[in-house]
Amino acid sequence: MKYGVLGTGMVGQALGTKLLKLGHEVMLGSRVQEHQGAQDWKAKSGGGAKIGDFRDAAVFGQILLNCTQGAITLDALRSIDRKHLAGKLLIDVANPLDFSRGNPPTLTICNTDSLGESIQREFTEAKVVKAFNTVNCQVMVDPGRVKGEHDIFICGNDSESKNAVKELLRDFGWKSIIDLGDITNARATEQLMPIWIRLWTQFGTADFINFKIVRN
């Protein structure tokens, strides 16, 4: 499968590398075509790794992953001709973190709306599935780093697209996937960020933390 990854930060690189390891073709897209982080990633990733701008990655990918910073996600998507999003699964990994008030960050959008919903509302031609946004990128691609049982959450409006994301998650090693329902559930998973970030501060690392929903 061809994956277009929007965003060349730690998250985009980690997911891109994992997808390459699984035998997929991956293009990382950034704001500009000649992005240093993307070039470094390509150099160390070897064959199969491609880079470009957001538009290039969207054209290339059969499946797209939004790994941009939440605050710039909508602008990044607006830089892409909508026809390149049409009918495609867009996995939204981003969180709408706002660092302008200092640390810990607040959310630019929450409670009565979410980033996942905003994307789906504006880009109706894409099939948005919110996933991965409640764990560190090292855990995203290697859930076994966290010992014991733990969960990953997904939500979205299209069942077939959610099934594709579940399959991808299982390929990544995820054993327990909780499908919360439609895309409005992005409010719930994005609002896990405040406690996740505070636990990170508390424990000194986010590499080995995740949520487990315990129930009988």
Question: Residue from 107, 137, 165, 183 that binds a second copy (CB under 8 A)?
Answer: 107
Interaction of residue 177 with a second copy, rule CB under 8 A: no
- Which strand (E) or helix (H) includes residue 73? helix 73-78
Assess 120 for contact with a second copy (CB under 8 A).
no
What binding mask, one character per residue, do residues 62-101 give for a second copy by CB under 8 A, x or -?
A: ---------------------------------------x
Binding test (CB under 8 A) with a second copy, winner from 87, 102, 160, 202: 202
Residue 92 and residue 34 in contact, taking contact as beta carbons nearer than 8 Å: no
Query: Taking a C-beta distance cutoff of 8 angstroms, is the pair 5, 57 a contact?
Result: yes
Q: Which two tokens stand for residue 5?
A: 């990854």
Strand partners, 64: 4, 90
- Nearby residues of 114 by Cβ (< 8 Å), 6 or more positions away: 96, 130, 183, 184, 186, 187, 190
211 touches a second copy by CB under 8 A: yes
Residues that bind a second copy (CB under 8 A): 101, 106-107, 110-112, 145-150, 153, 178, 180-181, 185, 187-189, 191-192, 194-195, 197-199, 201-203, 208-216
